[in-house]
Structure 1
Amino acid sequence: MYGLAAFSVESNSLERRPSGTSAAYRTDKRVMATNDGEGLEFIDEHSILVRADRDETWRALLRIVRTDLTGASWFVRALGVWPAETRGDWSSDPSGATLPGFAVSEVVAPTWLDLRGRHRFARYALVFELDEAGAGCTTVRARTFAVFPGIAGRAYRALVIGSRAHRWIVRRLLRRLARSAGAPKASTPGYFDGA
């Protein structure tokens, strides 16, 4: 599986996110390291304010991730994704669970969900962070880290990131999450192109 460390460009040092740490710990680093020593670069961050408490938002996140991140079988085979199938309990504790293209790397319910995966053209992480925002609301942040090795990887990056398809997919997922947990109060896209 993948390691859970973040490389800080500012301090040129490797930090490990302490196990069981609350969502106050931030992944606003530029590179997230993996256990193979190669870092995943920060791609973007998107957020939304949800009109529901953190526990309800967490349950909605698990439902939406389970349905929205399950790709078509022909697409899964064409990309050669790992993991290739759905396993585990996505209803309450997703520790060790998988979806085609995503494995739960770390979970700290109801504040943190770290999904990792890979395919022929990329290795990536999608990290969700849930913070209480007062008045029964929750801020949900989705951060993407990835690396696209080789010429084929660069072409895939241009296709998915450069075309803004990834941006559209993540924002759609967050809007669906907000509708599922409660009406969205406000949206703060927070789009940053890490390239």
Structure 2
Amino acid sequence: MPKNALPHVDDHTTVVEAAPDVLWRALCEVLDRSGARPGATGYARLVGCTDRAATGPRPLAAGSALPGFHVTSALPDRELVLEGGHRFSSYALVFRIERTGRGRSALTAETRAVFPGATGGLYRRLVVGTGGHTWATRRLLASVRRRAERGPRPTTA
């Protein structure tokens, strides 16, 4: 289901003391690191996610996958669209980067999702209704902000 066809759930924004290119690299690194955790693959398997492992090109690009998500669009330094689905929901997580000043950017995470049937409604209450989704999204954004504000990692030859 295309991201625009899904109902809006929420969005969260953080301001980052970093240029969009540094923020983009930090976003991709944090998402890859989060997806590599055993809990991510276990949860993806438990709820029956379509995407259960990290695969495809790195850094993240269209065709990449993380547990629970696949990248449908990657516009470096501007927008990253992750989509996914499992037994209880179809969803999209859209990250947007906007330059807000010299060496400063805003990172927004927009969630869109549908929760079909009674089990989908129960899942929504458990994940969204309890504040768990908001907590997890804000925590992810804070991790990206901290990583970006540390600056780019030096490359090794």
What TM-score do you get using the length of structure 2 for normalisation? 0.89
- Identity fraction in percent: 38
Task: Please identify which structure carries the higher helix content.
Answer: 2
Residues 1:126 and 2:93 aligned together: yes
Deviations 1:20-55 (A, max 9, x none): xxxxxxxxxxxx21xxxxxx1100000000001000
**Secondary structure at 1:85's aligned position in 2?**
coil
1:135 CA drift (Å): 2.0
Alignment match, 1:22: none
Contact 2:61 2:73 in 1 (8 A): no
1:3 CA drift (Å): 3.4
Residues 1:74 and 2:38 aligned together: no
Contact 1:114 1:125 in 2 (8 A): yes
Contact 2:41 2:53 in 1 (8 A): no
Q: Quote the Cα distance in structure 1 between the aligned partners of 2:142 and 2:131.
A: 17
**Secondary structure at 1:72's aligned position in 2?**
helix
Residues 1:107 and 2:74 aligned together: yes
RMSD: 1.4
Alignment gaps of 5+ in structure 1: 5-31, 34-39, 184-195
Contact 2:83 2:92 in 1 (8 A): yes
Deviations 1:26-85 (A, max 9, x none): xxxxxx21xxxxxx1100000000001000000000001112245433322210001122
Residues 1:83 and 2:51 aligned together: yes
Q: Quote the Cα distance in structure 2 between the aligned partners of 1:3 and 1:125.
A: 8
Alignment gaps of 5+ in structure 2: 151-157
> What is the aligned length?
148
**Secondary structure at 2:99's aligned position in 1?**
strand
Q: Quote the Cα distance in structure 2 between the aligned partners of 1:58 and 1:162.
A: 30
Amino acid of the residue matched to residue 58 of structure 2?
W
Contact 1:63 1:90 in 2 (8 A): no
Q: Quote the Cα distance in structure 1 between the aligned partners of 2:88 and 2:7.
A: 14
1:132-151 alignment, distance < 5 Å: 132-151=99-118
1:110 CA drift (Å): 1.2
What TM-score do you get using the length of structure 1 for normalisation? 0.72
1:101 CA drift (Å): 0.7
Residues 1:97 and 2:96 aligned together: no
Amino acid of the residue matched to residue 119 of structure 1?
H
Amino acid of the residue matched to residue 73 of structure 1?
T
Change in Cα spacing, 1:72 to 1:128, as seen in structure 2 (3 Å) is closer
Contact 2:35 2:54 in 1 (8 A): no
Contact 1:128 1:143 in 2 (8 A): yes
Q: Quote the Cα distance in structure 1 between the aligned partners of 2:7 and 2:128.
A: 13
Amino acid of the residue matched to residue 72 of structure 1?
A
Q: Quote the Cα distance in structure 2 between the aligned partners of 1:112 and 1:125.
A: 13
Contact 1:129 1:140 in 2 (8 A): yes
